[in-house]
Chains A and B, each alone.
Chain A
Amino acid sequence: MEYSSAVERHFAAPKKARELPGGSAGLVAGEAEDRTLHVWVRFQLQVVDGVVAAAGFQAYGCPHTVAAASAVAEWLEGRPLAEARKLDVKAVCAELEVPVEKLGKLLRIEDAVAACCQ
């Protein structure tokens, strides 16, 4: 299995792998999983005036899953929630040079973000 330098960077130091303080107004969370693919992801978004002010994530899965969740959490910050809903994880996969066979796992990231935006 080959890993791009972007995957290595996100996996080694995922900046948004954190827990946002609970109890605050505008904090939303969503998760998604696929047991057959051995993947689970969870996002927390702090939404202020319809904009994602902060994002945090957790992930269980392969390095591509962790790296893509990290990249998506970074991408989400500063974006209007309406834009976050339109997350296209395929674009993230392309940026991270994720092998196409891993796409099924990474689509769960889209599902988790969508769950946050409901």
Chain B
Amino acid sequence: MSNREIYLDYAATAPLDPRVAAAMRECMEHEFGNPSSLHAAGRRARALVEAARASVAARVGAASDRIVFTSGATESNNLALQGVLRRSRNRRVHLVTSRIEHKSVLDVARALHASGVAVTYVPATAGGWVEPERVVEAIDDDTQLVSIMHVNNETGVIQDVGAIGEACRARGVLFHVDAAQSVGKLPLALAQAPIDLCSLTAHKLCGPKGVGALYLAPRVTLAPQIHGGEQEHGLRAGTVATHQVVGMGTAYELADPAREAPHLAALRDRLWQELAVIEGARANGDPQRRAAHVLNVTFPGVDGESLRFAMPDVCVSAGSACAADSPEASHVLTGMGLSDVLAGSSLRLSVGRFTTEDDVVTAAARVAAAVARLRWLARSAPAWCSA
């Protein structure tokens, strides 16, 4: 078995598509103008930005003027939550979200709570699903915003944002969706969807890091979070990073869910077929509701940090981080009912455009070997290590 590096962490980030790199290079080498400038160089840069905006809008089924470029989905989530909830003064404001959101939503929710915003965290089922009825139950007269991710970043479980959005519309509550993991993997038609704000990223679909966007439905107004210019409809001050935006536009042109999702699902299923033979291995998240590119697996009796360390040439992520004296178990997996120990015995494996069948088969063999070695190192360990 060779020691070649195998990348199965597309849910964290994806390699830059060479066609994206070529478009960015062309822009950087020849179009340095400030897209806000009125002279010829500025107008050419502006045209590139608007072409990219049109590409992003087309991929998510929205009008171009509804797309605001940001530095990434984290900034988009910040702008959405803070932009909506910091508009109101002198009245109770309520946010509804779930316990299994990305940190870029949960940490913002915590910060908002510290400044007086009431927050309700809806739990997930054992299958990692946020039941729309539970979200609806949490809405009260002061609720201004509901924020639920489309595809969970750890389990790949797809949430029913259509049903949740319809319920929000019926109650006059704005609905924000973090689509960082779904865009390019699932079809989006935001103009027709009951979604008011949607966070988008570029780097998870083979685009550049450092750029993203926020979709805003026509009736939505926001309080800007960055001041210092009128760029991006006055919602996001700062010189637009033309080459980054051009890269995002090209990435969105290339990322066609209809073409890529079947390939990704076949790879993910083959990966699970290989891993499922490992004694005790179990996939997390409702298999009927999972996006094509993510597989989260628990290997009881194995510490996740040691498992990753034992196979450095297999690039995967933990279901939990063990970065401190007290292991921080994945809030997503524990939120689905897994114990801290089992959450810490989990790996997230995610496939993408450049993953091959040989990659997943070879990676699974390395995982199996590492699991076997670590279990042997702890062969007399007490039962709690596997429960």
Contacts and interface: CB of A to CB of B under 8 A. Distances in A.
B380 A42 contact: yes
A49 B377 CA distance: 29
B326 A14 contact: no
A36 interface: yes
Contacts of B323: 1, 101
A40 B382 contact: yes
Contact of B385 (A17, A36, A60, A105): A60
Interface string A28-45: 000001011110101000
A93 B43 CA distance: 60
Main SS at interface, chain B: loop
Contacts, number: 63
A105 B378 contact: no
Interface string A68-112: 000000000000000000000000000000000111110000000
B381 A58 contact: yes
Interface string B296-309: 00000101011001
B309 A60 contact: no
A35 B378 contact: no
B325 A37 contact: yes
Interface string B314-330: 00000000111111000
A113 interface: no
B327 A38 contact: yes
29 contacts: A3-B309, A11-B306, A14-B377, A35-B341, A37-B327, A38-B322, A38-B340, A38-B341, A40-B382, A42-B380, A58-B377, A58-B379, A58-B381, A60-B301, A60-B377, A60-B378, A60-B385, A61-B303, A61-B306, A62-B305, A62-B322, A62-B327, A63-B305, A63-B309, A65-B303, A101-B323, A101-B325, A104-B325, A104-B326
Interface of B: 301, 303, 305-306, 309-310, 322-327, 340-341, 344, 377-382, 384-385
